[in-house]
Structure 1
Amino acid sequence: LNPKVYPYYAGEPGGLLFQPINKLLQPCVTLQSILALTVIIILAYMIQHTNNHYNFIRYRSYIPALIFIIIVSGFTDMHCLHPVYFSSIFFIIAVYRLFDIHEKIKPYSASFDTGFLLGVAALFYLNAIMLFPAFILGLTILSFEKRWREYILIITGMLLPVIFAISYGILTDQVLEILKVMEQSILTVNNHFNKNINLLIYLSYLTFLTILGSLKILKQYDHEKVSTRKYFTVLFLLFVNSVLIFLLIPSASQEMLIISSIPVTFLLSNFFIFIKSRLWGEFLFFLLIAGIVILQIIS
């Protein structure tokens, strides 16, 4: 264990809800790493609970939680405290509430909660708000009836935390600082992939597995329940949205991989659980574990 401080760019740790945490733990690097590990375990539990509750992977096991921990373990430069971890907690809860919209005649509360939770996630890690298009599409897919009220509620919920942040800035005479942090959190050029060959090789293998997982879902599609089809469609849209954030937002870099790993976890869990050739599945899983071990050794 070699605790380290994340190499933030200017403004990155300045999110309204993360800033006090960062100031409190800044002197203790070891405690930062312990907290990051604790949050990862919490995220794994939340992923497991989401699957158990909505049962879109029709097999009760701890594989989703295990897969998430394995995936994140490969991001060796993220083994330290970062606001994206706290943002991911609210992101998962937002997805949980979004899924609750399915087959509800009047899902007003779930619609508002989904937007609000995503807005809170953005107060830790601003780029999380860029996932909003996928949530809007998810609302469209999962809604029993398409009504304007649900869209107004999810937008209102998303905007409320942002309005709160601006209002807090006005009351404390920090509005210019908050706006500056928001600007830096979007426009700062931040590239941790450049010349990081180990990470790029690992991501290439994860991409390969994600493609296999997506193809597996397509093969199962006609045999799945309607709810399962819709849940996996929403998860795929969230993944695509996160990839677009990498491509379009200058500040988005390796930290966004934590959020991207959440929908990927469900795809890979379904793939490894239902793959027909156990030998082939075990071989691919062995390569994943071996890659993780090698990354830990050489990092």
Structure 2
Amino acid sequence: MILKKLKSNSSVSLILVPLVTLAFWLKSLQHPFAYDYFPGEQENILFSFLYRLVDGKPLIQVISGIVLAILLAYLMQLVNDRYMFIRIKSKLPALLFAVIVGGFVPMHTLHPVYFGAIFMLFAIYRLFAVYETKKAYSSTFDVGFLLGVGALFYFNLIVILPAFFIAIALLGRETGWREYVTMLLGFLLPFAFASAYTVLSNHFIGTVTILSENIFTSVNHFRSNIPLQVYLATLIVFTITGSIGMFKQYDTKKVSSRKYFTVFFWIFLFSLASFTFIPVTSQEMLVITSIPVTYLIANLFVFMKSRFWSELLFIILLLIVVSMQFSFDLF
């Protein structure tokens, strides 16, 4: 009965989002910590300005992370409510995202990836407006610009850019070269402004060094992290199950829904590829990967016919996320 109530279109589910987020971040509030950044990670061009305000204040960093996670959850719900790719009205995506991110305990503090994810969701919101639109130059420029701003917070967001080029080809109507060029120009514009600022402030060389560190520094938070490995294995099982459910529904879904979910697939694929091809990518990218995964699993729960299995799977997910709050003390 838990899932039946939560996957309804009632506003109660939205009220639960901050409560659930706070519940899963409670231990971090009791024992606040700053993220273990590698050299240069907190010096991303836009993030560095904000980080200086909270440096040495772990409690403020944890509270900031909570606020950003809640905002992300609501933005995810906004995107689904606007474009209705999960055709049954439900507030589950927001709540499910809060649950999934609740399991990433090492990420329960401030990190630039949260800002990157927020701008990526705004970019997705504008991207979906391209569907069946001729000469969508304004939308494609906005998509590129938002991704560019997000990359100035979290530089590795740039790995998602090819997925958005593919998405324009999937969604656009009579798409030509101009849509791709306007998106690329939009993406480069924030970097042009940032470059001009670093040149005028005599920080250009230092900024280039920081960006290179954000690509080539070898980081691996997964090695010997047994709790996180177990949790990721669980999410993989849910993702595979959701994918199977999606394939079964594929012919019955509207064309727009198929294309939107295909876009999420490409975002998911490129986020996974970053773990393999970019040395610096580690657990923080899971926040980005969780966005398409959340929509997929939410679609699974919403359309699952067996109430018993849907309730059981949801309870299992909740129990695993709860156990993650204590597992790091044991390992």
TM-score strictly above 0.5: yes
Q: What are the superposed Cα offsets for residues 228-250 of structure 1, whole Å, 9 maximum, x if unpaired?
A: 00000000110011000111100
2:322 to 281, 293, 298: 293
Q: CA deviation at 1:298?
A: 2.5
Q: Secondary structure at the match of 2:156?
A: helix
Q: What 5-or-longer segments of structure 1 have no aligned partner?
A: none
Distance 1:163 1:213 in 2: 41
Q: Does 1:275 align with 2:275?
A: no
Which residue matches 1:115? Answer: 144
Which residue matches 1:84? Answer: 113
Distance 1:175 1:112 in 2: 26
Q: CA deviation at 1:27?
A: 2.7
Which residue matches 1:148? Answer: 177
Q: Does 1:75 align with 2:104?
A: yes
Mapping 1:185-200, distance limit 5 Å: 185-200=214-229
Q: Does 1:99 align with 2:128?
A: yes
Mapping 1:132-147, distance limit 5 Å: 132-147=161-176
When the two structures are superposed, what TM-score results if normalisation uses the length of structure 2?
0.89
Distance 1:163 1:179 in 2: 13
Q: Does 1:253 align with 2:253?
A: no
The answer as to whether partners of 2:144 and 2:187 remain within 8 angstroms in 1 is yes
How high is the sequence identity, in percent, across the aligned residues?
Answer: 46
When the two structures are superposed, what TM-score results if normalisation uses the length of structure 1?
0.99
Partner AA of 1:19 in structure 2: S
Q: Secondary structure at the match of 1:100?
A: helix
- How many residue pairs get matched? 299
Which residue matches 1:50? Answer: 79
Distance 1:96 1:118 in 2: 12
Distance 2:266 2:211 in 1: 25
Which residue matches 2:295? Answer: 266
Distance 1:2 1:291 in 2: 21
Moved more, 110-119 or 54-63: 54-63
Partner AA of 1:36 in structure 2: G
Q: Secondary structure at the match of 1:98?
A: helix
The answer as to whether partners of 2:265 and 2:292 remain within 8 angstroms in 1 is yes
Distance 2:193 2:284 in 1: 25
Moved more, 226-235 or 272-281: 272-281
Partner AA of 2:126 in structure 1: R
2:189 to 149, 154, 160: 160
Q: What 5-or-longer segments of structure 2 have no aligned partner?
A: 1-29
